[in-house]
A and B are shown apart, each in its own frame.
Chain A
Amino acid sequence: MKAALKHGFMLICAAYISLPIVIVCLSALNGGRSMLFPPKDPTFARFWEFFVSEPVWLRSMENSIIVALASATLAVLITWPIAYDQWKRNTAFSRALTGLAGLPFALPPIVFGVGLSFLWTFVGGLGNIFTGILSHTALLAALPLVTISIGLQSIDRYHLDAAQTMGADEPTSLRTIILPQTLSYTLSGFFFVVVLSFHEFIVIFFVSASAYSTVTLQIFNSLRNGFTPTMAVGAITFLLVSIAVFSAVARYGDLPRLLGADPARKDN
């Protein structure tokens, strides 16, 4: 009885969370130009439009992918040494860098977006996709920083001792023990950035200065003409990417542990 109540509550929450998403997804099937629910004259024509016939969506999809992959790569490259230094040496300098790297994520994104738009206006490059990449790198670097730090902390120090007694110096340990053992954590951080960058709106809104658009921007820009079912295809695509990525993280990494569950408690 109690268990039924619990599961009932959880399922109601899940339904509440899924409802708008499901509605968006189903609206993609609308035959006409307007977003109706339930969809009228169901058709898959909108998918054709999104992925093939309307270049504006293709281009923004391309931009989304470029920004997401590039900023995720940069974020991992920047945060790896910071996390490693903090873990290995824990100096005041490394702690300061850690704090700085996590700072943008903790602020209201609109403030950071405004600041970035000033920065790129002054140094040039506002509206250049490269500054968009850097902006997302800064905004989302906190995520790989956290996952990599968790990964480093999960390394058994005796493994490093063992490697040392077998002749490994610090660079060798880094290459043969630390990097392979933190690979899944690094990848998780990478994919967290990819997914959040896909969906991020306000910062890229400020720094793109309408010179290019990602999918979220394109949707927002098209809103003035009302929602169209083609946008919903974008939502479906992104949703599927998110689910695929997080499932992969859950499958190959320890998702509960990444989110802070007690590592010792494997089963309960």
Chain B
Amino acid sequence: MSQFLMPSLGADMEAGTLVERLADPGDTVSRGDVIAAVETQKGVIEIEVYEDGTLAEWLVSIGEAVPVGTPLAEILKPGEPAVEPSGPRAARQPSAEPAGTSAPAPQILPKAGAGAHPRVRATPAARRLAARLGLDLKSLEHDPNRPIYRADVPAHPNRPEPASPLDMRAAISAAMARSKREIPHYYLSHTADMTPLEDFLTGVNADRPPQDRILAAAAYVKAVAVAARKYPEFNGSFSDGSFQPAETAHVGLAVRLRGGGLVAPALFDPAAQSLDALMRAIRDQVARVRAGRFKAKELTGATITLSSLGDRGVDRLYGVIYPPQVAIVGIGTPALRPWVYQDKVMPRRTACLTLSADHRASDGHRGALFLNEIGRALQNPEAL
């Protein structure tokens, strides 16, 4: 018997609200299966189970906000007989009970909502659902000692709602203020010729239907991951006073959300993927993120971040490092500029690459080599 816990999805998360149970008691579950969805400030996060077994029992009801670490469900190991509720129930009582219904557990979500609407306490999910259905929260019956949960609002739709701009702003504020408070950033920039990449993509995409085309973002992500292999001091996390390099580079790609805010969920081991596979992963991820839906490991798995301004932006951006990571790479909008190419000044499409890195983990000299390596990888897109 083991317990499936409310996970910590970042240093800023104290609590989450169980919004979906995607398995029933008696169901066989395998490591990696998504069995629940949890609402946090960043949106609805899908949570995976980390072992094989059988779901014995749910311990938290839909709409309940509980602190990180609270058991959400009990999982029987393969072959373990189902036990009568009396034994295990007694055993779990101390941990589940205070976290569940009675104690005034720390609740990020109701607090964020309460700031915006001082009269009625309700979770953001409940507010959004009520707003969309045209319901007045004050008209809903609920226990006045706790906030209104989404489950209290009648007529549940299936589609999850993206986190509200206010919650998103609070999450960004917390992470970025911590970054600027704790991380001694240094900044580098480097201009690179993007004409070879542009020509390469034009050639690759010419005969392809739109859904199979590759965007420059896939090449940027892969170039960062490949360069990070060679310069491990930019890839990993800084915690408890020391830097821990990561074995693999998982690149968080910053995705802007309509209505405000951004998130940078992880793309896993881009260096090992073809550009086609990586492009499919990016499209899938962006579609889910824009619908307000993440996988838990995407939120916590990135070891370095990439932020690209795309082709309607400005020359350069200097990113703010997302703790506990130690580096963020920025790619400015590529534009036609005068450039010396083969001893002649010619119009070439160039872009400004930037690096913001943590001085506790690296120095500018190595940062320059790392940024140069990214630029070089983009000069040779066929090899990506």
Same complex: no
